[in-house]
Amino acid sequence: MFRMRSYTAGNLKIQLFVALLLTAGNTLAGCSTVSMPMGSNNVDTPTLLTGSIESSSDVAYADIDDEDRKVIAENLDAIAPELTAGTTIEDLTLPWLNAISGNSGTLSKLDASSLGETGCVSFETTANTIAGIKLYSGTACRDVVKKFAVTTLSVADA
């Protein structure tokens, strides 16, 4: 009797062997780690080799945080009825104080000339922070609910 040779048994052995190799490879790959240095203790050669020049808005953001900006905006909301489009109120000084951070200052030179077109008011403010007393110029614009929010703030030339 003539017997036919079947290759399905050989293919099954190869497929089983490949499956075992892939499973073992994936298992071992999960146990390995790849690490890279995140910092350096070498003071002579720091890892940060590039940087940028600080702008006046970077300094203002570091000195006057979001909570201080909210307090400034709330003070502008308090005098919003007095602000009419096209007016400039240079003689008004409006103090502000953030009780949480301890920062304080005085708003002045309110310019509402673009209030009707853009909904924004420009102003100057002093800020007494831990970094010292500085003069800042900024812009506050109205949001959807007609409340002011400080949109730009930068160190002004004294």
Domain boundaries in the chain? Answer: 57-155
155: confidence class by pLDDT, cuts 50, 70, 90 = confident
150 CA to centre of own chain:
14
Tell me which residue of 155, 42, 54 sits closest to 105, measured CA to CA.
155
pLDDT tens per residue, range 74-94: 998 888 877 776 666 777 888
Q: What's the Rg (C-alpha) of the chain?
A: 33
Q: pTM of the prediction?
A: 0.60
CB atoms under 10 Å from CB of 98, counted, come to 19
pLDDT for the residue numbered 104 = 93
Q: Is the separation of the CB atoms in 133 and 126 below 8 Å?
A: yes
